[in-house]
Structure 1
């Protein structure tokens, strides 16, 4: 199944599973679009018909007829816009707010029943999957760095193993190396001089970077990784600056790292940040012929 059919298949599955196909959503007497417009009026902070149409991608003529129906039912009223007398702002009446609250409660109840049939592990899997779907449609533009927490190391090992196998053809020995680095860090790192960060955005992990000691004056950058959809947004630079700042703060005189020549975007990032290329060497590792590149920067 290709990507197009996979998305269509998922759309057919979830619309049926959540009961979105009937003429009356959750026996409310309203269609799905009407319920969504009512929700936007109650929660979206969108005061004009044009704003709602743009937000939901609706034809303005269709939305006008829908809103006229709400008005006949006494659910909305139109008031002059204090900033522009030519415009009318939409507001829910008391009855409209009552209807919106009723539909919202019914929806929460229906979804609660749906989730109640799932195990805690299945619900966690669903939550992660929903975050990934949203992420795919709306990649994050910002992220925050958090300290390494329980569960992060397993994600780091998994994502390195999967993506480097897919993109570079590395075998399982690379995943084993990442697992060994993580195990060593968790067991023996010095919190006063070593640190690991996880980049979070859109409710999920996007990347990792570590600063580890290689002596009193030398630190090493390790496990610098970004999910593919998070690359090219400036997050890598932010993570690199965090590592450099930490190393300076702890009194290291230099930061070193090694990478592979095939990681061209990472090499450009290091060089733009002022890292000096020390040299390169051909190796056969992780089931592939590689070229290892060494970098350093004075702090």
Structure 2
């Protein structure tokens, strides 16, 4: 063992723990332990969250997770309930008090980290961030690529597609409830049709639903429509979107369609990149504000 290298790591540890001390939440936040703060953070990202998923994300054993959630629940910060889809699954969600507590912790943490970064000029900040990424790449837990499965919808999946469209697009783009209503109408129309020329896929990563897409028949018998592309933030970077679009396009091609169309909006850059890579070309655009923000609706077309 190289003692000089060991000494260098120990010296870095002393420096790092000193920096962490500067960033400690302090007396005002002492009522929240680090695990409690991490739970509130995860629930702020996804509400509700399955307890099994929370345990995986925070690497908690079942007993400790149960005691931790019981403490938070007794303080009125979270609530637990059984899933309507699967009574064996327990869901946890933040209460309004829990959301308020997270907002306070998040604001204070942001201010402290911003204060640390402000000690350095732009070049110094970039060097610091690059060094952090390097350490994360070297010592981080590099899990294998999760298993991706595309499957037909099961009971409950279509409702999930509507709910996740509404929640994600409201949070990320400010779409209002009218967008969720539009998605509900598309899903209902799909479910009402018995047509071998249409298909629906649910994407799973390691057994968790992370995306969807549908191929529907347009008014013209030779034209298919790509609809309901959805990708959860946790699935981004795993090639799920590309796989969904490819599956949908190949289905349309195999079923004799001559054209495939889709509608999207110009702010959805990631989706537009996927469509362009699959061979779609922009065919038309118009401005509208049906879902709250002012948007440009685009029509894209692919000829087979």
Q: TM-score range by the shorter chain?
A: 0.5 to 0.7
- CA–CA separation in structure 1 for the residues paired with 2:193 and 2:243: 26
Partner-residue secondary structure (3-state), 1:165: helix
Residue of structure 2 aligned with 1:220, choices 222, 225, 232: 225
Which residues of 2 match residues 1-299 of structure 1 at below 5 A? 5-7=36-38, 14-15=63-64, 17=66, 123-126=87-90, 141-190=146-195, 192-214=196-218, 215-299=220-304
Shift of 1:12: 10
Distance in 2 between the 1:207 and 1:151 partners? 14
**Paired residue secondary structure (2:261):** strand
Residue by residue over 1:88-142, the C-alpha shift from the partner in whole angstroms, topping out at 9 and shown as x without a partner, is: xxxxxxxxxxxxxxxxxxxxxxxxxxxxxx978685332899xxxxxxx969634
TM-score where L is the length of structure 1? 0.58
Deviation at 1:281, TM superposition (A): 1.3
How far apart are residue 16 of structure 1 and its match?
Answer: 7.0
CA distance in 2, matches of 1:162, 1:120: 18
Q: CA 1:120–1:272 in 2, change beyond 3 Å: closer, same or farther?
A: closer
Gaps of 5+ in 2: 1-31, 41-53, 55-59, 69-80, 94-141
Identify if the C-alpha distance between structure 1 residues 282 and 242 changes in structure 2 by more than 3 Å, giving closer, same or farther: same
Partners of 2:198 and 2:34 in 1: CA distance: 42
Secondary structure of the residue that 2:159 maps to in structure 1?
Answer: helix
In structure 1, C-alpha distance between the alignment counterparts of 2:172 and 2:259, rounded to whole Å = 31
- The CA distance in 2 between the partners of 1:228 and 1:17, in whole Å, is 26
**Superimposed CA distance per residue, residues 176-235 of structure 1 (whole angstroms, 9 cap, x where no aligned partner):** 111111111111241x10010001112211100000001211000000111011112211
| Closer/same/farther in 2, CA of residues 5 and 275 from structure 1, 3 Å limit | same
Q: How many residues align?
A: 193
Give yes or no for contact 1:140–1:202 (8 Å, CA) kept in 2: no
The SS at the match of 1:124 is coil
RMSD over equivalenced CA pairs, Å: 3.2
SS at structure 2 position matched to 1:288: coil
Provide the rounded CA distance (Å) in 1 between the counterparts of 2:182 and 2:33: 33
